[in-house]
A and B are shown apart, each in its own frame.
Chain A
Amino acid sequence: MPQKKRSKDLNFLEKIYLPEIFNGLMLTLKNMFRPNVTMQYPEQKFIPPASYRGRPVLVKENDDTERCVACGLCSRVCPALAIEVQPDETALEKERFPKLFEINMLRCIFCGFCEEVCPEEAIVMSKDYELVYTNREDAIYGKDKLLVPVEELSDRLEFLRNFK
């Protein structure tokens, strides 16, 4: 097979490569003096904006009760069947509360439907994106992990009121 002819032969400077090597080194040198954009995670944490959909959490009121009334709408709307709610009766005015509230974080797809459907603004998407577990059981979050004080969620609640 005859060798294919190059469209253009390299000239002398191109053949010795050195100018291009210096070009590359110059680029590196220039970038050394530019401002640094890499975040030093995990020493330095990324704080997402209010519109971010991190793991869903339950709002805990100031009197330590959950805002949730265990209506089960989040559970019904969840496309991944991640949420299980077991309601029970309480003497409080809201009449019912979740005796058990579990989100399987392996099933959760962070779509935010649960937050959207919630009639009480009781389940919201937090800024928490650090989800680590070493077995399937640990990935099922119960009320102990889900309840977050309302002050910590003020950003998201305000965002929801403005844009939902």
Chain B
Amino acid sequence: MPKLIIDGKEIEFENGQTIIEVAKKDGLEIPHFCWHPSLSISGNCRVCLVEVEKMPKLVIACSTIAADGMVVNTQSEKTLNARNAVMEFLLINHPLDCPICDEAGECKLQDYAYKHSAGESRFVETKNHKDKRIQLGPRIMFDQERCISCSRCIRFSDEIAKENQLTFVQRGDHVTIRTFPGEEFDNPYTLNTVDICPVGALTSNDFRFQTRVWELSSTESICVGCSRGCNTEVWVRDNEIKRLTPRENFDVNSYWMCDHGRVNTWKNVNADTRIDGCLKDGEKISWEDAIKSVSDGLTQYQPEEILFIGSAFASNEDNFLFKKLAEKKGVHEVYFASAIKPGDADDILIQEDKTPNSLGASKIGLTGSNDNKSLSKKISDGKYKAAFILEDDLTRLEEDVIKSLQNIEFLIVQATNENQLTKEANLVLAASTFAEKHATYTNFLGMVQRVKPAVTSANMDRALDSMSKSRWDKFATTFDRWGRGKKYDSKPGWSILSGILNEMGEEKNYQMAEDVFDELAKEISDFNGMNYDTIGSGGALLKSFTKQEAETV
């Protein structure tokens, strides 16, 4: 293997790698703005200049191919001077509006100005003023002044989103970014440009001016918007989700996620429609009473009179215990309704299947079909007198099917938010959302992935449940208004179901989601040998699936 020397350290590399890649692999960061590992090389920001022995001038590390025996110096006086000079140029027309800039705190320019710049400007002339609020697309606001023309957003929309929508116009210090005439920056992936923008030039309409980033806590999670299950970070302040950002996982979503997932999939967590405590015929009742009512209610019916509908929106653990509960009642067929939106998919990330766990549900032994016909027929036949529906509003089913479901004698609905079924239900069990529990989901590639609690519900405590904490969470007392985010009285699905199982005489007592998953892994062959540790933050593959790189991304 060829070797080169960076700052006196010998590093092996593969032919074709650039200096910056070799350095990165070894854990050494060469400063860069325009270079991004999954975008083409543009080489316009010049901040990655390094000195290579026997080369007459400094070279940019992002586009110089590493060669055997090369001696690179990233800390020589010449390099540092050049880096300083580049920073000074970049800062000439950059406004000093960090206090009102949403990027502040996670801004590359801010960090590098601190690390790699002299800290003083010799520029005494007036800065170039441009437009600060340009709506580039439905979800993106552009601040021309802040842009350092790195072209990452342009390359992203060309190469990753595959839509040529952005371009540079003008020259020199008038250069700016705009959409092509008559076009809007509206592809399904626009918000990724907010993440890769090294400054605060591109901001998300949804998150803009909502909070400072250093006030948030972040938790590893996944997106539940479709069966891709993009890896995410959930950012929370005052027990309220403020934004979702993608987390890199090359087996699933690379660095990206779609706008729909980022903006819409978590809005139900703090919505007014959340179910806050269990309801019996519309009246609030205690958890004990609710669980007793379920168990007592179901004993009055014969197995063939009870319908169990699991859910592809619910986690593996929830569906597993739901199946167990059905079997305990002597019901062996448990259904789930799929949510396929034909045509609403692309070859980047978005999948037609809009549920996060349909593969998991079927692996666990639930029955579902793409068109939900057989399920609809079963319901309309009308022989069922009791039904238990797990975390699904079933809006995809036809109206008369829903009608007959609503007319069932004893209807139990376990739900996170109010929907057409909770209104008619005899018993509503308040379930926690994906953001309030430990759980696993199985995506269409056979990847079992974990979510961790980011928001607390009534019976949880950030410190005791070792959840991530912001500075506010750490020091809040009961007398601080900022420490009093709304907590809903809900429980994770598995916990409710194991309560019902225990009430029905099941011996096994599940203490936490991990216990349920361990049993699942023992009983279902595809999950054999998995546990929460092996899944980790990157996911683990089902046994019958082979690894494939997240196709195009």
Interface residues of A (CB under 8 A from B): 69-73, 75-76, 81, 84, 86-89, 94-96, 102, 104, 106-107, 119-120, 136, 140
Give which listed residue, B100, B471, B479, contacts A96 with CB less than 8 A: B100
Near A by CB (< 8 A), chain B positions 424-483 give: 471-472, 475, 479-482
Known: A72-B215, A76-B212, A76-B214. A81 touches B475 (CB 8 A): yes
**CB of B211 within 8 Å of the partner chain:** yes
The interface residues of chain B lying within 8 Å CB-to-CB of A104 are 480-481
The interface residues of chain B lying within 8 Å CB-to-CB of A81 are 471-472, 475, 480
Whether the pair B472, A88 counts as a contact (CB closer than 8 A) is: no
Whether the pair A96, B209 counts as a contact (CB closer than 8 A) is: yes
**CB of B547 within 8 Å of the partner chain:** no
**CB of B132 within 8 Å of the partner chain:** yes
Whether the pair A95, B100 counts as a contact (CB closer than 8 A) is: yes
Expressed in whole angstroms, the minimum distance between the Cβ of A120 and any Cβ of chain B is 8
Cα of A100 to Cα of B167 in the assembled complex, Å: 39
Known: A69-B100, A71-B99, A81-B472. A87 touches B479 (CB 8 A): no
Whether the pair A89, B481 counts as a contact (CB closer than 8 A) is: no
The interface residues of chain A lying within 8 Å CB-to-CB of B511 are none
Among all A-B residue pairs, the 6 with the closest Cβ atoms:
A71-B99, A72-B212, A84-B482, A89-B209, A119-B99, A87-B209
Known: A95-B100, A96-B100, A102-B481. A89 touches B208 (CB 8 A): yes
Cα of A119 to Cα of B100 in the assembled complex, Å: 10
Cα of A119 to Cα of B209 in the assembled complex, Å: 17
Whether the pair A94, B481 counts as a contact (CB closer than 8 A) is: no
Cα of A104 to Cα of B208 in the assembled complex, Å: 26
Known: A81-B472, A84-B482, A102-B481. A95 touches B132 (CB 8 A): yes
Total residues of chain B contacting the partner, CB 8 A: 18
**CB of B210 within 8 Å of the partner chain:** yes
Whether the pair B100, A71 counts as a contact (CB closer than 8 A) is: yes
- The interface centre, meaning the residue of B100, B210, B215 with most chain A CB atoms within 10 A of its CB, is B100
The interface residues of chain A lying within 8 Å CB-to-CB of B482 are 84, 102
Known: A81-B472, A89-B208, A102-B481. A69 touches B132 (CB 8 A): no
Whether the pair A88, B212 counts as a contact (CB closer than 8 A) is: no
Whether the pair A140, B481 counts as a contact (CB closer than 8 A) is: yes
Which single residue of chain B is at the shortest CB-CB distance from A83?
B482
The interface residues of chain B lying within 8 Å CB-to-CB of A88 are 209
Interface residues of B (CB under 8 A from A): 99-100, 132-133, 208-212, 214-215, 471-472, 475, 479-482
The interface residues of chain B lying within 8 Å CB-to-CB of A95 are 100, 132-133, 209
The interface residues of chain B lying within 8 Å CB-to-CB of A96 are 100, 209
Give which listed residue, B100, B132, B475, B481, contacts A84 with CB less than 8 A: B481
The interface residues of chain A lying within 8 Å CB-to-CB of B214 are 76
Known: A71-B100, A95-B132. A136 touches B481 (CB 8 A): no
Cα of A120 to Cα of B99 in the assembled complex, Å: 9
* 17 sample A-B contacts, Cβ–Cβ < 8 Å, listed by A number: A69-B100, A70-B100, A71-B100, A75-B215, A76-B212, A76-B214, A81-B471, A81-B472, A81-B480, A84-B481, A84-B482, A87-B209, A87-B212, A94-B100, A95-B100, A96-B209, A107-B480
Cα of A94 to Cα of B90 in the assembled complex, Å: 23
The interface residues of chain A lying within 8 Å CB-to-CB of B100 are 69-71, 94-96
Which single residue of chain B is at the shortest CB-CB distance from A71?
B99
Cα of A132 to Cα of B132 in the assembled complex, Å: 44
The interface residues of chain B lying within 8 Å CB-to-CB of A75 are 212, 215
Expressed in whole angstroms, the minimum distance between the Cβ of A66 and any Cβ of chain B is 14
The interface residues of chain A lying within 8 Å CB-to-CB of B475 are 81
Known: A81-B472, A104-B480, A136-B479. A87 touches B99 (CB 8 A): no
Whether the pair A69, B99 counts as a contact (CB closer than 8 A) is: yes
9 more contacts with CB within 8 A, not counting A75-B212, A96-B209, are A72-B212, A75-B215, A81-B471, A86-B211, A87-B209, A89-B209, A94-B100, A102-B481, A136-B479
Which single residue of chain A is at the shortest CB-CB distance from B471?
A81
Which single residue of chain B is at the shortest CB-CB distance from A85?
B212
Expressed in whole angstroms, the minimum distance between the Cβ of B144 and any Cβ of chain A is 14
Cα of A96 to Cα of B200 in the assembled complex, Å: 15
The interface residues of chain A lying within 8 Å CB-to-CB of B210 are 87
The interface residues of chain B lying within 8 Å CB-to-CB of A84 are 481-482
The interface residues of chain B lying within 8 Å CB-to-CB of A107 are 480
